[in-house]
Every structure is written in structure tokens, then in C-alpha cells.
Amino acid sequence: MSEKTTKILRIPGPELPPHLLAQIDAIFFETAPLAPQTQPEREAFRQRWLGRYLADRGDAVLLAITAEGRVAGYLVGALENPAAQERFADISYFRTHFAELCRRFPAHLHINLSEPWRNRGIGAALVEAFAEVAARAGAPGMHIVTGRGMRNVRFYERCGFRELGSAQRNGGASVFLARELDPSAS
């Protein structure tokens, strides 16, 4: 990571102090311009892509913390196969298009950085930290799902992910990008 003063912390979601939680929420909505504007849709959107991972002690919550103690970005992820867990039944592509891939690459993540902290290698450091956590937990692989043609695809490819599947959706395609892990190396 080029920012020598930024460190990565893993904190169980239920133990997050309110000031860090507030900054994670701010980054989540800053990076989600299509988030619904009205409650309770807004809260359901947050729960789907962020809240559920903060509520579960077994999930990974990794924070990039600046020298001033601010949250530059976060990564949340689950370590076990989402296609086999009832709590992810509301995200249909895990079971419809990507069930077999989820078995081979069970860990999955969501990552967002505040705008001033992008393009400095902090995202790659968060992904590497998650790879270590997932491998240590015994996951043989990890994946992310994003949109075809999104700028972040290049980032994931540089982090060692490759496209193994896709699913058509309204107005585009979701792509399944995966990377193998070596649990025995951790």
C-alpha cells in the first residue's frame, strides 16, 4: 500500500464503535448513487449490501484507517458459500447462475473507498487482507460480482481475479470474478 500511514484493521461488526460505523455508512451511500431515497427502501438496500455483514460476527469487516483515525474505506465479506446459506436467499444469482462457482469460490466481498482515498493501492491492500482471512478460514477461493464494463473490473483483475461466469440482468450483465486461495499456505 503506497499510503504508509494507512493501516488495515479487522473489527467484528457487532463491536464497531458508533463513530466508525457512521463513517462506514457515509462511504456506503457516497459510493451508491442509485440507492433509494426513501425509507424503508433505503434501509433495506443498506441491509442487503452492508448491514447483514456488520451484524454477523462470523463475517469479515476490514477497515482502512488513515493516520488521523478516519475510515478511508471498508471491505465486508462472508467466508462460506452464500448459495448454501438461507440468509443470502434474497440474492438470486448465487443460486440461479453461480451456484457451482460459489461452491468452488465460496468467500465473497464488497469493497468501497471514499473518493479522496482511491487509486493509492488501499483497495488492493484490503483485498489481500481479506484473502488471508478467507484462506485461514479454509476457503479454497473467493469471488466478487460486479457489472460488466464497470471500471472496477480492471482493479479486480489486477488483484488476481478472473471472469468465470455472467448473468444477464436488466440493462446489462453481472459478472462473477474469482480467485483461488491456498488454505494450506496461511
Ligand X SMILES: CC(C)(COP(=O)(O)OP(=O)(O)OC[C@H]1O[C@@H](n2cnc3c(N)ncnc32)[C@H](O)[C@@H]1OP(=O)(O)O)[C@@H](O)C(=O)NCCC(=O)NCCS
- Interior CA angle at 83 toward 167 and 141, to 5°? 85
CB closer to ligand X out of 138 and 167: 167
Contact flag: residue 155 with ligand X (CB under 6 A): yes
What CA–CA distances, in Å, run from 173 to 28, 165, 167, 179?
Answer: 22, 10, 5, 20
Please state the closest distance from residue 116 (CB atom) to ligand X, in A. 10
Which parts of 109-128 interact with ligand X (CB under 6 A)? 111-113, 118-124
What is the phi/psi pair of residue 36, to 5°?
-60, 150
- Give the pairing of strands 60-65 and 162-169: unpaired
Please state the closest distance from residue 37 (CB atom) to ligand X, in A. 19
Contact flag: residue 98 with ligand X (CB under 6 A): no
CB closer to ligand X out of 140 and 160: 160
Contact flag: residue 105 with ligand X (CB under 6 A): no
DSSP state of 78: E
- E-strand stretches of 20-171: 60-65, 71-78, 107-113, 141-147, 162-169
> Which residue has the closest beta carbon to ligand X?
123
CB closer to ligand X out of 4 and 151: 151
Rule CB under 6 A: which residues touch ligand X?
A: 31, 111-113, 118-124, 144, 146, 151-152, 154-155
